[in-house]
Amino acid sequence: MIIQQVINGLSLGSVYALIAVGYSLVYSILLFSNFAHGGFLVIGGYICYFVLKGAGMNIWTASFAALIGAGVSAVIVERLAYKPIRERTPITLYMLIASMGMSIVIENIFVVTVGGRFRALPPVIPTQPVNFFGLATTSAFDLLSLVTAVVFLVGLQLFLSKTKWGLAIRAASYNLRTAGLMGVNVNRLISIVFFVAGLLAGVGGIFLSVRYTLYPQLGMITTKAFVAAVIGGLGSLPGAVVGSLILGLAEMLTAGFISSQFRDLVVFGLLIVTLIIRPTGLFGKSVGEKV
């Protein structure tokens, strides 16, 4: 039983990690928490749904379209809502407020255009039970989501450590202005950061749409991914991953051995305890004027 819950917790935590890494990636560059991030998850989920259902294409084509659509949407939001603000003032609070507004706008666009009802993705992702040598039984979906998340997170690490733009992002995370003075195209770099963050949110959107069904308010689930990023330390990518795995395990172990009604209590209890003991998170560093 405990092995099964651990596997389920790692699976859920890995999906949280994809979303939390996007939060931390944007935060490390622009120093604000992008609360419209959940909207990119919803966009990815709906694109996948309509490509599968309407166009009748396979899961690979639908997933590719969802990831590109979510990434491009993130870039568009940055250009329309955040770029004008950051060019006028260095105060990141205004971008935070704008992100809250964009979150509501994206949610209501889907409510108006496609309706607020719950939708189930076609059964193209395997969900049959898998037996682990008689020790535990879990679903193929949980294993697939875990493996997929690991692949994307490893890919992100390789991108950040082996490519020119990845190294530029790492440099900008220390000081964006200095990176600009050294010849880095700051606007292009920010667009790349948002595209990557949106793409990762799109992956999470596909898996969460299968786990919970798809609806315009699905992006609210990213609140837990944000909590995971805070626990790990906002701006720290390893911290976002570790915080997400801790949160996923805590949720599933609580649901399995206590009650599912206590899941949210445990999640936000962990957040409060972390902020009391270590406000910067497990891997975070104290930096002034971040929102």
290 pLDDT band (50/70/90 cuts)? Answer: very low
pTM for the whole structure = 0.91
Amino acid at 244: S
> Residue 62 pLDDT more than 70?
yes
- 138 close to 5: Cβ distance less than 8 angstroms: no
- Write down the CATH number for the domain with range 2-113+139-277: 1.10.3470.10
Q: Which tokens belong to 179?
A: 């990176």
* Amino acid residing at 269: G
State yes or no: pLDDT of 289 exceeds 70: no
Query: Please, are residues 249 and 9 in contact by the beta-carbon 8 Å criterion?
Result: yes
Confidence of residue 4 (pLDDT cuts 50, 70, 90): confident
Could you report the per-residue pLDDT of 228-282, keeping only the tens digit for each?
A: 999 999 888 999 999 999 999 999 999 888 888 898 899 999 999 999 999 888 8
Q: Which residue has the higher pLDDT, 111 or 129?
A: 111
Pairing of β 129-132 and β 136-139: antiparallel
Average pLDDT, the chain: 90
